[in-house]
Amino acid sequence: MIVLGVESSCDETGLALYDTQRGLLSHALHSQVAMHEEYGGVVPELASRDHIRRAIPLLEQTLSSAGIDASSIDAIAYTQGPGLAGALLVGSSVACSLGLALDKPVLGVHHLEGHLLSPLLASDPPQFPFIALLVSGGHTQLMRVDGVGRYTLLGETLDDAAGEAFDKSAKLLGLGYPGGPAISRLAEFGNPDAYKLPRPMLHSKDFNFSFSGLKTAVLTVVKNHEEKVIANICDQDKADIARGFVDAIVDVLTAKCVSAMRHSGLNRLVIAGGVGANSQLRASLNAAAEKKKFRVYYPELEFCTDNGAMIAFAGAMRLQINPDAAQRDYSFNVRPRWPLDEIEAA
């Protein structure tokens, strides 16, 4: 079975072809980072318009790379939510229009389910069940994953997600957008003892997170700096603040993961989402895993951010379990707000 995946939930347009027998055939991705950078964040209307421009050329590129014709597609999976309403509608309209034209069934996929299952695309995938730390954009959640559609929420952020804290703190340091990779790179040159920032909810005895206070702590450090003006803070000071911030957020994420592993009794931890590409987080989790005798699985770096491959794969997994999951209902149906625990088991 060959499944076409269409991803357009935010600022990446992704298409991919996944074959249940041969694996990932091809994928193509366009990032809008350069377009949104001058605005300091994603502009929804611009994102939607760019998805419209990119979708069909990326589809042609994906088909060409796989060496197949569109008629060979058996089903089409698209991101139904959550995400930006206008952006989701573009992907939905492309998928449903193709389905109608080719007389192929379509399947709406939960964006976060795509992230959760993306490590299974690796050459050495984890087996169910496992604990998953989902750190993607506006989401920071710890889940127990027992199978496709069988997700139990253990804890989540009560305010800012880790990714939001990265972007907002980077902006405070004048690092621009997207801030996550920039502040992570800068932190590598920082002194870990220069700024000891708070570790919110580190000892809360649950699996919830809170990062808005950490962002506020960065703001306070910047405001209390002797020069008062961010432009006058020297590069080393910025690096030290970045190091203090990254160490704090990594410590919290690592501690919560270790606690969840101990609580569950499982020995497999999966990291999914954009923050999963963070080198400091990976180093910390790998060290904790070696000490506590569990194993950590990551997506390939190219599949940490939003992409069509994870949507094609999630759709294919659902269709393998339930071939009737895809329908010939070509109405545009998106869910900008869609809690992961509301999706049905496969």
Range of the domain at 171: 127-298
91 annotated as a binding-site residue: no
Q: What is the CATH number of the domain that holds 105?
A: 3.30.420.40
192 & 219 share domain: yes
145 belongs to an annotated ligand binding site:
no
Task: With residue 268 as reference, give the H or E element that holds it.
Answer: strand 268-272
d(CA 138, CA 141): 10
Q: Is 305 exposed, middle or buried (0-12, 13-18, 19+ CB in 10 A)?
A: buried
Residue 278 assigned as binding residue: yes
Hey, is 271 helix, strand or coil?
Answer: strand
Q: Is 306 annotated as a binding residue?
A: yes
Within this chain, do residues 218 and 234 fall inside the same structural domain, yes or no? yes
263-317 confidence digits (pLDDT tens): 999 999 999 999 999 999 999 999 999 999 999 999 999 999 999 999 999 999 9
Reading across the β-sheet that carries 2-7, which strands appear in turn? 23-31, 12-19, 2-7, 75-81, 106-110
250 has pLDDT over 80:
yes
221 pLDDT higher than 70: yes
pLDDT digits over 170-187, tens only?
999 999 888 889 999 999
Neighbours of 124 (CB within 10 A): 7
Mean pLDDT of 136-156: 93
Claim to verify: residue 177 and residue 62 sit in the same structural domain? no
Judgement on whether residues 174 and 68 belong to the same structural domain of the protein: no
Within this chain, do residues 88 and 140 fall inside the same structural domain, yes or no?
Answer: no
Q: Over range 239-254, report the average pLDDT.
A: 97
Query: Which pLDDT value is given to residue 231?
Result: 53
Task: Give the pLDDT mean for 84-104.
Answer: 98
Same domain, 88 and 230: no
Establish whether 240 is an annotated binding residue: no
Tell me: is residue 273 an annotated ligand-binding position: no
Q: Average the pLDDT over 89-106 and give the result.
A: 98
Does residue 157 sit within a domain? Answer: yes
Q: Is 122 inside any structural domain?
A: no
180 appears as a binding residue in the annotation: yes
**Is there a binding annotation on residue 86?**
no
Q: Is residue 134 marked as binding?
A: yes
Looking at the structure of the chain, the number of domains it has is 2
